[in-house]
Amino acid sequence: MNSHRPFAQIDVFTAVPGFGNPVAVVLDGRGLDDAAMQRFARWTNLSETTFVLPPTEAGADYALRIFTPGGELPFAGHPTLGSCFAWLAAGGQPKSSDQIVQQCAKGLVRIRREGGRLAFAAPPSSCTPPAPALLARVAQAMNLRSDQILRAQLLDNGPVWLTLQMDSADAVLAVEPDHTQLAALGYKVGILGTCQSSENPLISRSSREAQAFASSHQRPDAPLIEVRAFAAATGVPEDPVTGSLNASLAQWLIGENELPDAYVASQGTALGREGRVHVQRDENGQVWVGGDCVSCIEGKVLL
Question: How many other C-beta atoms can be found within 10 angstroms of the C-beta atom of residue 199?
Answer: 9
The pair phi, psi for residue 256, each rounded to 5°, is -90, 5
Measured in whole angstroms, the distance separating CA 34 from the mean position of its chain's CA atoms is: 23
Secondary structure letter of residue 223 according to DSSP: -
Q: How does strand 275-281 pair with strand 293-302?
A: unpaired
Cα separation of 152 and 149, whole Å? 7
The helix or strand, by DSSP H or E, that contains position 225, with its residue range, turns out to be: strand 225-231
Q: Could you tell me if 231 and 188 are in contact, meaning their C-beta atoms sit under 8 angstroms apart?
A: yes
* CA separation, residue 26 to residues 48, 117, 234 (Å): 11, 21, 21
Which amino acid, residue 138?
A: V
Query: Residue 188's beta-bridge partner residues?
Result: 161
Q: How far is CA 205 from CA 53, 169, 194, 257, 275, in A?
A: 46, 13, 9, 12, 24
Identify whether 258 is a catalytic site residue.
Answer: no
Mind telling me the catalytic residues? 48
